[in-house]
Amino acid sequence: MEIELKYLIEDEETQKKLWDPSVFGKYGEVDLHAETNMRAVYYDTEDGLLRSVDAAFRIRKENDRYVATLKWGGTSDEALHEREELNLPLCEKSDAEEPSLKVFAESEKGRELIELAGERKLIPTVETSFTRRTMRIDTGKTICEAALDTGKIITSGGNADIRELELELFSGDVEDIEAIGRDLAEKFSLRPGIVSKYARGPSSPSFVIATEAKRSMFS
pLDDT at residue 213, rounded to an integer: 47
Domain range summary for the chain, segments of one domain joined by +: 2-216
Compute the mean pLDDT over every residue in the chain, rounded to the nearest whole number: 91
Residue 81: beta bridge partners? 4, 76
Q: Which residues contact 103 (CB under 8 A, 6 or more apart)?
A: 68, 88, 90, 95, 110
pLDDT band at 93 (very low <50, low <70, confident <90, very high): confident
The answer to whether residue 214 scores a pLDDT higher than 70 is no
Architecture of domain 2-216: Beta Barrel (2.40)
Mean pLDDT of 171-179: 97
Mean pLDDT of 57-61: 97
For the ranges 102-111, 127-136, 192-201, the lowest mean pLDDT is seen at 192-201
pLDDT at residue 217, rounded to an integer: 58
DSSP state of 200: T
Rounded Cα–Cα distance for residues 87 and 174 (Å): 22
DSSP state of 209: P
Residues of the chain above pLDDT 90, percent? 80
Mean pLDDT of 39-58: 95
- Nearest to 179, CA basis, from 137, 135, 133, 134: 137
Query: What count of other Cβ atoms lies within 10 Å of the Cβ of residue 211?
Result: 10
pLDDT at residue 206, rounded to an integer: 44
Amino acid identity for residue 142 in this structure: T
- Nearest to 190, CA basis, from 10, 27, 19: 10
CB 151 within 8 A of CB 131: yes
